[in-house]
Amino acid sequence: MGAFHLAQANISTGRWAFDHWRMRGFASRIDAINDLARQAPGFVWRPTSERMLNDLVRLGLDPMREAYNLSVWESVESLWAFTFSGVHLEAVKRSEQWFEPGSAFDVMWWVPAGHLPTTEEGLAKLELVKSGPTPEAFTFRRRFPAPEHPAR
C-alpha cells in the first residue's frame, strides 16, 4: 500500500427531486452502484449515504436534488476502472436525462493513506477545480501524480 490514496468527489443537480417518478432510473441504481463500488478492486472507503445526506442538510444543500458522492481509492486506475464499466457507466451515459445541464462536477486529490476526507473537504475541492486542474484538485482529463512525500 502506498503513502497516498486518491480521494474523489462529484456533485450533480437533479432535474427533479430524487423521489420524482422521472428520477426512478437514477434513484433505483444508487444502492447497487454503492455496493459495487465497495466490492471494486482498489476501493478504500466512502462515508455512509446517511452521513453524506446529513452533511448536505447541515451545509444548506438539498439532498433530494444534489447527488453528492465522496470516496477514496488506491489509485486513479482503480477509480477509472470502476467509473467507466458496468452499471456505473450505464448510469453515466444516461445522466443527461436526470441532471441539470452543466451541473455535474468531479474532482480528485491525493490524501495520505488512512485520511478520511469530509464532505466539506470534497465540496471545497470541487470549488477549487472549477478554476482549473492543479495538483490539489484535478480530473481524469488532467491528472497529477501522488506526492513523493507526505506533507508535514
d(CA 18, CA 98) in angstroms, rounded, equals 9
Which tens digit of pLDDT belongs to each residue from 23-46? 998 998 888 888 999 999 999 999
Question: pLDDT band at residue 152, thresholds of 50, 70 and 90?
Answer: low
112 — pLDDT class (breaks 50, 70, 90): very high
The confidence band for 86, taking pLDDT boundaries of 50, 70 and 90, is: confident
* Domain edges within the chain: 4-129
Predicted model pTM: 0.91
Task: Indicate the DSSP class of residue 82.
Answer: H
CATH of domain 4-129: 3.30.70.100
Q: What is the pLDDT of residues 124-133, one digit of tens each?
A: 999 999 999 9
List, as one string, the DSSP characters of 88-150. Answer: HHHHHHTHHHHB-TT--EEEEEEEETT----HHHHHHHHHHHTT--BTTBB-SSS--PPPSS-
pLDDT of residue 150: 60
Mean pLDDT of the chain: 91
CA distance 30 to 53: 13
Contact 35, 46 (CB under 8 A): no
